Amino acid sequence: MKPIKVGLLGIGTVGAGTFTVLARNAEEIRRRAGRPIEITMVADLDTARAKQITGGKVEVVDDANIIVNHPDIDIVVELIGGYGIARQLVMTAIANGKHVVTANKALLATHGTEIFRAAQEKRVMVAFEAAVAGGIPIIKALREGLTANRIQWIAGIINGTTNFILSEMRDKGLDFDVVLKEAQRLGYAEADPTFDIEGIDAAHKATLMSAIAFGIPVQFDKAYVEGITGLQAADIRYAEQLGYRIKLLGIARRAANGIELRVHPTLIPANRLIANVEGAMNAVLVHGDAVGATLYYGKGAGAEPTASAVIADLVDITRLATADPEHRVPYLAFQPDAMTDTPILPMDEITTSYYLRIRVADKLGVMADITRILADAAISIDAMLQKEPAAGETEADIIILTHKTQEKKAKQAIAAIEALEAVSGQVARIRLESLG
């Protein structure tokens, strides 16, 4: 059969990985796909580097528009990133009847609705396995493998950079900035690393998973996003002493009155498998009503792991390109006319447990005041740790773990605790999930 022709937009970390793996495993991939998959054109701003990577075997251009408008190209692979030029190129490719593969979670989490609608109209596929958890086939698992289930919740370590930073800080006592630079050198971090450390990248991915899991539109603007920049080394230490690890989790949960969609540092019991996912590795726990909990683990970033997902999409499209569009797997798992408008809950309405670190003057009655405030708010205490003041100091830390409560109640109680005379500064608050 004649080869399917691919145009690659952007040959940076993931683009180069895709080119290399596709060339190395060409024969194996052909046997799986049923026909050869060939990258015939590459666009990159740095054409000299692109020519070096491709070894003069393909046409290299500096204007990606040439590829998305080229009549010979069947599939466009967008690996530029961001939602500027990438959005325009993807929309043009779709308008020209080309299938699209992208690793660009930022683009899909913010403009997914528009992109999927356009693709539906033009009867082309938009595939994005690489956009969530890099090499882990989590999109396929959610969209196909778990299709019998009513998904109840998803909790994932879905940003390699922040997991790498938290692991290195905890294990080696390294500084935040040093570890971030190393993550950038290794190609894990986004072009703008703020996306990683402020939780935005994880929220893009959690948003995509929430849409596929619950059959709701892609709504990044409704996600709660909190990164790791406010985390203190003391909290990582105290969490350990209480038997917990702190991870940046992306959570999507079906609640009684809506969907919780949130990214924030989270205490997880240290004996959970997911708590032991270290370095740049990713892991996603999915709980379905029939299957129970399932865990997916692997490399969430890097050239070849991400290429693995990009190429899996290329093979899927190659196999399905000739299928009637009505019989393809829907982009967001549910048929477009069967999506629901279940709301994403405001953060005040979510329910979780809390770790609280309270800095207090070492005075009689402080503990009683704090516990009374929590009792009045109907927040029950699960565990408590009281530290002696360090030598020469008059203040000490009290650490409290609560049982589940509503965020709004926790916020009110924290404000009341902060108003106590014996309490100094702000109460450090980190959410806690047992993931049982």
Q: Under the rule (CB under 6 A), what is the footprint of ligand NDP?
A: 9-15, 43-46, 64, 79-81, 85, 103-104, 130, 134, 187-188, 190-191, 301-302, 306
CB of residue 136 vs ligand HSE: minimum separation in angstroms? Answer: 11
- The residue among 107 and 146 lying less far from ligand NDP, judged by its C-beta, is 107
- Please report whether residue 61 would count as binding ligand HSE according to CB under 6 A: no
Instruction: Please report whether residue 189 would count as binding ligand HSE according to CB under 6 A.
Output: yes
411 classed as catalytic: no
Cβ 23 to ligand HSE shortest distance, Å: 23
Question: What residue 161 binds from ligand HSE, ligand NDP, none (CB within 5 to 8 A, per partner kind)?
Answer: ligand HSE
Cα–Cα distance, 181 to 170 (Å, whole number): 17
Query: What string marks each residue from 195 to 234 as x (binds ligand HSE by CB under 6 A) or -?
Result: -x----x---------------------------------
Given ligand HSE, ligand NDP, none, residue 46, with its beta carbon under 5 to 8 Å by kind, binds ligand NDP
Residue 159 contact among ligand NDP, ligand HSE, none, beta carbon within 5 to 8 Å by kind: ligand HSE
Residue 189 vs 286, nearer CB to ligand HSE: 189
Site string for ligand HSE, 252-291 (x = CB under 6 A): ----------------------------------------
Of 10, 12, 81, 160, the one binding ligand HSE (CB under 6 A) is 160
Closest to ligand NDP by CB, 197 vs 410, is: 197
Q: Which stretch binds ligand HSE (CB under 6 A): 182-190, 231-239, 263-271, 405-413?
A: 182-190
- Catalytic entry in 205, 299, 404, 411: 205
Instruction: Output 190 or 433, the one with its CB closest to ligand NDP.
Output: 190
Answer with the entry of ligand HSE, ligand NDP, none that 104 interacts with (C-beta below 5 to 8 A by kind): ligand NDP
Residues annotated as part of the active site: 205
Q: Which residues contact ligand HSE (rule: CB under 6 A)?
A: 134, 159-161, 188-190, 196, 201, 300-301
